Structure 1
Amino acid sequence: MRCFQLSAMIRPYLEDRFDIDLLEMPDGNSPFKQVLWARRQAPSTIFVFSKAAINKLFASTVWWLRQRGSLICFDQVDNDHGSTSRLYADIQFCSSYAQLEKLRHHKRQNPRYKGEPMLLLHSYDLRLENFTPRKLDHARMVYFGDPRNAKLEAGIEKTMDVIEISESDEMQAVLPRLAGYNLHYCIRNQDIAAPLSSKPFTKGFTAAACGANVIAHRRTEDVEEFLGSDYPFLVDGDTPDEVFSMIERAKHSYGDADWLRAQSIMQSVKTRVSPKALAQQMSTALKEFGIG
């Protein structure tokens, strides 16, 4: 989904300088077919491989593309960047600031690691670009996503509505329901991530596109980067009581100074991951290589 939406997001801002297309690469069962595909590609092309494509990419395919003067970029999103050490990339796109720092540190410690870490943030679903929230006179909270990924034990789920969605093609059907909420619950279960993997703050970006505030955990990667350390609805601890307390506080703050300050912060979050911002990040990365 990332590759389809990313191309659509950046195209209006970069199409005066680049032809932007989506290509289907042969699967990972046949090195011969991939190499044949690579030899047929136009020379001096910028290839941005999605995480699904990277998983089936052969080193020989990359070699042929580079022989033809092409720039190789990996867009791993939340995959482990360490898994691509066998492949040569010019750019390793990072979909979060946390991932960017991890990769820069890894590259300093491992100079032979291939690819310059560059920022290309994740964003909200493009179908939310012109989203219009419903006007409400009180706080209404929702968890939007796969409930298995959220901290919802001990009755926490009873304080909110849950809109369950696990596949991107389900988004269109639930868009009208999202308009009825102005507070999104974004506290995840804490995963044990791979050393060079980070999850972008996608739940926060979705809320920002919906014009909603968020309740999030301070330790979640990129939360303080986007929201700031003084965002009013950050949970510090791990107990259900602390979560309940913040939910109560956020709901009762509707319309007051904290609520309005949070709204202003969320508006800035949307701007930072907007299509225009992502196009600028792509442009900045390519200019580092003398392109564009």
Structure 2
Amino acid sequence: MSRAVRNSDLFLTKGAARTMDPDMIHSLRHKGNRIFLDPVDEDVSDDVAAAADVLVAASISAHREFESRPLATKVVRIDHHVDPRLRRLLAAGGATTEPTEPMLVRYFGETVNAVSTPQIAASVEFVHVDTARQDTAWMQRVPGVHMHYAVRQHRALDRHKPFLKGFTAALAGANILLARDETEAAFWLPDDYPYWIEAHPSEDAILAGLEYARETFRGEQWREALTMMRELSARTADSVIVSQLEDALS
């Protein structure tokens, strides 16, 4: 990062936040900059957080954890929004509102993060999203999907994962299959959402969840779930994110 930047609001997200130490942050602040530290889903030490002007939480769980720390640094929440390019694509072509047979289920993300077996892959199409490079090809495969698969492998480095898969599915007018060990998702979807499956699910539990989705496809439970997803989408609309950003900058 250029040390010549002056009198600006600087957002240090994930990779930049990971490489910062307190002295580097103080150097930037001494040039009249306000430092907004946004580790997204990674951890940040108290020393680094204390050096910033504002600590940004990209999820509800992160916000609660940051506020519990003995820090004088201001803590704000700016939810992880859906990629604006996908929002534009869906606005141009329309989201899935009237499902047609057969039910189409896809997973979008790093495939190493998903729970997958040959039996699960027979029902779920896995679309790899390479987050290490700019690639929007996967977005073309979002329209028309009825259910997003979001059963993840949990890793030790996972901290506060934003519910981005849920936000994406909701924007696209789709339902989502997910496990009850998704801490962040529980803040966004009610306990009676029909397509929760048990925490740390076995292959059999996942297959049973997919079968239940097929059995209820287009039925009353399906429509109720879509209503919940529309409510979720409203909570993460652009206007909401802009308001959070404005509050953070005030």
TM over 0.5: yes
Name the structure 1 match of 2:108. Answer: 144
- 1:246 matched to 2:209? The reply is yes
Name the structure 1 match of 2:192. Answer: 230
Name the structure 1 match of 2:83. Answer: 125
State how far apart, in whole Å, the 2-side matches of 1:224 and 1:118 are. Answer: 20
Name the structure 1 match of 2:35. Answer: 72
Name the structure 1 match of 2:161. Answer: 199
Name the structure 2 match of 1:176. Answer: 140
**Residue 88 of structure 1 contacts residue 114 of structure 1 at CA under 8 Å; is this kept in 2?**
no
**Alpha carbons of structure 1 residues 86 and 181: separation in structure 2 relative to 1, 3 Å:** closer
- How far is the alpha carbon of 1:205 from its aligned partner? 1.4
**Residue 109 of structure 2 contacts residue 128 of structure 2 at CA under 8 Å; is this kept in 1?**
yes
**Alpha carbons of structure 1 residues 102 and 154: separation in structure 2 relative to 1, 3 Å:** farther
- 1:214 matched to 2:176? The reply is yes
- How far is the alpha carbon of 1:70 from its aligned partner? 3.4
- For 1:82, which of 30, 45, 48 is the aligned residue? 45
- For 1:185, which of 149, 164, 169 is the aligned residue? 149
**Residue 128 of structure 1 contacts residue 209 of structure 1 at CA under 8 Å; is this kept in 2?**
no
State how far apart, in whole Å, the 2-side matches of 1:64 and 1:146 are. Answer: 36
- How far is the alpha carbon of 1:47 from its aligned partner? 2.0
TM-score by length of 2: 0.87
Count of paired positions: 242
- What is the identity, as a one-letter code, of the residue corresponding to 1:169? Q
- How far is the alpha carbon of 1:77 from its aligned partner? 0.3
Counting aligned pairs with the same residue, the percent is 24
**Residue 95 of structure 2 contacts residue 171 of structure 2 at CA under 8 Å; is this kept in 1?**
no
Name the structure 2 match of 1:166. Answer: 130
- For 2:60, which of 85, 97, 120 is the aligned residue? 97
- How far is the alpha carbon of 1:114 from its aligned partner? 5.3
TM-score by length of 1: 0.76
In structure 2, runs of 5+ residues without a counterpart are none
State how far apart, in whole Å, the 2-side matches of 1:164 and 1:89 are. Answer: 35
Name the structure 2 match of 1:275. Answer: 238
Greater CA drift, 82-91 or 197-206: 82-91
In structure 1, runs of 5+ residues without a counterpart are 1-24, 27-33
State how far apart, in whole Å, the 2-side matches of 1:153 and 1:115 are. Answer: 45
**Alpha carbons of structure 1 residues 71 and 180: separation in structure 2 relative to 1, 3 Å:** same
Q: 1:192-243, CA deviations, whole angstroms, 9 ceiling, x for partnerless residues? A: 246xx31111111111121110001112021111111111100114211111
State how far apart, in whole Å, the 2-side matches of 1:170 and 1:68 are. Answer: 36
- What is the identity, as a one-letter code, of the residue corresponding to 2:135? E
- How far is the alpha carbon of 1:189 from its aligned partner? 0.7
Q: Give the secondary-structure state (helix, strand or coil) at the position aligned to 1:279.
A: helix
